[in-house]
A and B are shown apart, each in its own frame.
Chain A
Amino acid sequence: MALSFPEEVLEHVFSFITSHTDRNTVSLVCKSWYEIERWCRRRVFIGNCYAVSPGIMIRRFPEVRCVELKGKPHFADFNLVPDGWGGYFYPWVCEMSRAYPWLEEIRLKRMVVSDEGLELVSKAFKNFKVLVLSSCEGFSTDGLAAIAANCRNLRELDLRESEVEDLSGHWLSHFPDSCTSLQSLNMSCLSSEVSFSALQRLIARSPNLKTLRLNRAVPLEKLSTLLHRAPQLVELGTGAYSAEARPDVCSNLAEAFSRCKELKGLSGFWDVVPFYLPAIYSVCSRLTSLNLSYATIQSPDVTKIVTQCPNLQSLSVLDYIEDTGLNALSLSCKDLRELRVFPSDPFVADANVSLTEQGLVAVSEGCYKLQSVLYFCRQMSNSALTTIAKNRPNLNCFRLCILEPRAPDYLTLEPLDNGFGAIVENCKQLQRLSLSGLLTDRVFEYIGKRAKKLEMLSIAFAGDSDLGLHHVLSGCDSLRKLEIRDCPFGDKALLANVSKLETMRSLWMSSCSVSLGACKRLSQKMPRLNVEVIDEQGDLDSRPDSSPVEKLYVYRTVAGPRLDMPSFIRNMAQNPTYMR
């Protein structure tokens, strides 16, 4: 039967389908749709850079303009992934430089980028526009200089939370005078001072600059000068927010802020001196996003700010806000969607601030639109968790970190199984969950039974036995990413759920009870998984199958075993003793 629509029509229809999952679904309808779709796919998202190879991506999608890649597992953020693990960008940029001369956007997360890679990006892609390096490392300001110098149409340079070897601030001066296309610049992770006049001139000739996140080295006294050049800013990250207390400087700053009528997001605020906080009051009523999580200001000062932000949708703060501040937040910010509360002193067991579970309960009561929570605290109770769950069934992300491992309900001294059970029961759309506190296998039974939309689960110091892991693997239908540390989960659960692992992006298990032999058997049963054992003790080849592995990373792949593994990582499919 002939196609009812010509290809061009289908292509036009597909151009309205932008989400990656929808695009993937479209390509599965039939062979001709697969063909048409692959030729017109412009954006590719690869959640695990080792799940596929550059060659495979290029073969399937020849006309890509935007590539997004993620490298290291999430637990790399907490130093659980040893240096040298991998996630190298260079092999990708090498092949893309040949295959995608019209590439415009590269977004990387937790990858190892090099100056050579950045230089190649700057020279190979004539129409390059967007570079986002999120939590990346391995490059220096020399690489940034190449990007600045060579990318004529650069729109976005965002280095969020990357570890950059900061040789000097001179890289910024490499932007040519002809570069006027900049819309977004995030250099907040850099420590070196850049030439202020170069920065000022760059901002002045970038009329479309909407996002500017300065680094700590940009002094507060100079901020108003920059704001005067960019009153159209929508998002601003300040530099260090401290200076000698001078009323004239403060009023200049306040005046500069008040001219920024489009300003919706504020961040930065390192080394805050409260004297200068009133300078931002005039913009508070318009703010939808506020990141004060580096601001070491006390509760009254924080509260004074947030209560002036009725349109706030996203707030990040330190626990200095305390329960009183969170209570005020719940009364003032009825549009709040996302709350993140970070610990000011995470390595000390005893509380330095008066922030408890009550703060979160208050916010869950007052902020009807609250969907996403990240909360560090020192005590929690089942009743508080149950209250939160009942208040906010619309939660889609709930990450709770009780600082002390295995801390029980502080009122009853019981495990927190029921509390988290209430969360998964009431919050039916929950996609992401991080557990903490004292938890038995029972919480996993609840999760397996109820958390049907859960995509990402993080577990630490929890559970009693393999049954816990089995509940999760056999019950959570939507699970994509599972990361576990220091739990008594072992071989039985893993081997009873081998096919589940191919439906997921990845599984991380460290300091659990998984044996080397089980890893080999898993690899044998599931040839399309990479079962990688990470072990830095150096004697993996001579260890008995019964010995436990330090760290295990399992992920589905169509690219076969990695070719760039360091000596302390072994793919179990290649293990010599298995071959016998």
Chain B
Amino acid sequence: MATEGLGLDITELRLGLPGVGEAKREKKRVFLDILGGGSEADPSDDTGGGGDGKNRNIGVVVGWPPVCSYRKRAIIKMYVKVSMDGAPFLRKIDINGFKGYSDFVRALENLFGLGDECEYTPIYEDKDGDWMLVGDVPWEMFTETCKRLRMKKRVSDGGLQTKA
């Protein structure tokens, strides 16, 4: 699987494979605080910030539970909302339906009818509520932590609009 970039020279967005190049990845491995009690743990202990107890998530651990990617893609639909700066309505996309970042970003662009000369950069809200640039973490980790997406318009000076 070759490294593929989007050619976004301005933002130097590189959607390559992790470990390629010098970027140091800070490993996001957050366990649920379960000392002394599994499912009885207080939802507020969930360091993953999964929100209310009803849909509390199983931490952010790569490769756990041990469900193989083939099965994850086939069975588990993870529809997340996608908004775009200036678009009147949102769309939804199943992030589990893709094998990697390149397929996914292309599909995102297609959702909004954006062409190759794309003025938008995808960002996502993770389980902690932080807005992150799409592409930094391994694909599988991304699918497990992405809560929703936004296509941010890049301003003429090449940066991202900082206003929400």
**Are the CB atoms of A410 and B54 closer together than 8 Å?**
no
| Nearest chain A CB to B13 CB, angstrom units | 19
Is there an interface contact between B58 and A344, defined as CB atoms closer than 8 Å?
Answer: no
Say whether B19 contacts A82, CB under 8 Å: yes
Chain B nearest CB, measured from A215 CB (Å)? 11
Confirm or deny: A83 has a beta carbon within 8 angstroms of a beta carbon on chain B. yes
CB-based contact B39/A78 at 8 Å:
no
B63 touches A78 (CB 8 A): yes
Contact assessment for B57 and A349 in the assembled complex, using a CB-CB cutoff below 8 Å = yes
Residues of A within 8 A of B39 (CB): 349-350, 378-379, 404, 407, 410
A346 interfacial by beta-carbon distance below 8 Å: yes
How many Å from the CB of B52 to the closest CB on chain A? 10
Which of B67-75, B114-122, B148-156 touches A?
Answer: B67-75
Shortest CB distance B58–A (Å): 5
Q: Is the CB of B67 within 8 A of A346?
A: yes
- Residues of A within 8 Å of B140, CB to CB, are 79
Residues of chain B with a CB closer than 8 A to A406's CB: 31, 34, 38
Tell me the chain A residues, 254-301 only, with Cβ under 8 Å from chain B. 270, 293-294, 296
Q: Is B49 part of the contact surface with A, judged by Cβ < 8 Å?
A: no
Q: Are B63 and A163 in contact (CB under 8 A)?
A: no
Chain A residues 375-400 with CB under 8 Å of chain B are 376, 378-379
Q: Assess whether B88 is interfacial by the CB under 8 Å rule.
A: no
Question: Could you mark each residue 180-213 of chain A with 1 if its beta carbon is under 8 Å from any beta carbon of chain B, else 0?
Answer: 0000000001000000000000000000000000
Q: How close is A72's CB to chain B, nearest CB, in angstroms?
A: 12
Known contacts A270-B74, A404-B32; decide if A80 and B38 are in contact (CB<8 Å).
Answer: no
A536 and B34 contact, CB distance less than 8 A: no
Asked if B63 contacts A75 (CB within 8 A), the reply is yes
Instruction: Scan residues 289-319 of chain A and give those whose CB is less than 8 A from a CB of chain B.
Output: 293-294, 296, 318
Q: With both chains docked as a complex, state the minimum distance between the C-beta of B20 and any C-beta of chain A, in angstroms.
A: 8
A408 proximity list for chain B (CB < 8 A): 36-38
Report if A79-B62 is in contact (Cβ < 8 Å); known contacts: A342-B71, A350-B53, A404-B38. yes
Near A by CB (< 8 A), chain B positions 69-126 give 69-71, 74-76, 99
Q: Which of A130-150 contact B (CB under 8 A)?
A: 135, 137-138
Residue of B whose beta carbon sits closest to that of A458: B66
Q: Quick check: is A537 within 8 A (CB to CB) of the other chain?
A: yes
Are the C-beta atoms of A350 and B37 separated by less than 8 Å? no
| A302 vs chain B, min Cβ distance (A) | 14
**Cα–Cα distance between A472 and B36 once the two chains are bound (Å):** 25
Judged by DSSP, the binding face of A is loop
Q: Write the nearest CB–CB distance from A25 to chain B, whole angstroms.
A: 34
Contact with B along A480-497 (1 / 0, CB 8 A): 000001100000000000
**From A404, A406, A485, residue with most partner B Cβ within 10 Å:** A404
Interface residues on A, range: 35 or more
Give the distance in Å from the alpha carbon of A276 to the alpha carbon of B37 in the complex: 44
Q: Which residues of A contact B29 (CB under 8 A)?
A: 511
Bound CA span A293–B32, Å: 28
Q: Is A538 an interface position by the 8 A CB rule?
A: yes
CB distance from A276 to the nearest CB of B (A): 19
Q: How far is the CA of A438 from the CA of B53 in the complex (A)?
A: 21
Complex Cα distance, B140 from A406, in Å, reads 22
Report chain B residues within 8 Å CB of A78. 62-64, 66-69
Considering the complex, give the chain A residue whose CB is closest to the CB of B22: A538
> B77's closest neighbor in chain A, by CB?
A296
Cα A294 to Cα B37 in complex, Å, equals 32
Q: Report yes or no: A376 in contact with B65, Cβ–Cβ below 8 A.
A: yes
B73 → chain A closest CB, angstroms: 9
Give chain A residues whose Cβ lies under 8 Å from the Cβ of B138: 79
Interface assignment of A460: CB less than 8 Å from any CB of chain B: yes
List residues 1-16 of chain B with CB under 8 A from any CB of chain A. Answer: 1
Is A36 close to B, CB under 8 A?
no
- CB closest residue in chain B, given A380: B38
A475 to B39, CA, bound (A): 33
Given A78-B66, A348-B58, the answer on whether A538 and B24 have CB atoms closer than 8 Å is yes
**B143 nearest CB across to chain A (Å):** 9
Q: Which residues of B contact A342 (CB under 8 A)?
A: 67, 71, 75
Closest to B70 in A: A161
A82 touching B76 in the complex, CB below 8 Å, given contacts A161-B70, A410-B39: no
| Contact across chains for A347 and B34 when beta carbons are under 8 A apart | no
In this complex, what residue of A is CB-closest to B38? A407
CB distance from B64 to the nearest CB of A (A): 6
Contact A404 B17 (CB under 8 A): no
A485 to B34, CA, bound (A): 18
Q: In the complex the two chains form, what is the Cα distance from A405 to B65 in whole Å? A: 8
A366 at the interface (CB under 8 A from B): no
Query: For B40, what are the chain A residues with a Cβ–Cβ distance below 8 Å?
Result: 413
Tell whether, in the assembled complex, residue A485 and residue B63 are in contact, meaning their CB atoms are under 8 Å apart. yes
On whether A349 and B65 interact (CB within 8 A), knowing A82-B18, A84-B17, A270-B74, the answer reads no
- B-side residues, CB < 8 A to A, are 1, 17-19, 22, 24-25, 29, 31-32, 34, 36-40, 53-59, 61-71, 74-76, 99, 138, 140, 144
- Known pairs A161-B68, A270-B74, A294-B71. 15 more at Cβ < 8 A? A78-B66, A79-B62, A79-B63, A79-B140, A82-B18, A83-B17, A294-B75, A349-B58, A350-B56, A378-B39, A405-B31, A405-B32, A406-B38, A408-B36, A408-B37
30 contacts between A and B (CB under 8 A): A77-B66, A78-B67, A78-B68, A82-B18, A83-B1, A83-B17, A83-B19, A84-B19, A135-B68, A135-B70, A163-B70, A189-B70, A344-B76, A346-B67, A347-B65, A347-B76, A349-B39, A350-B39, A350-B53, A403-B65, A404-B58, A405-B32, A407-B39, A408-B36, A408-B37, A413-B36, A413-B37, A538-B19, A538-B22, A538-B24
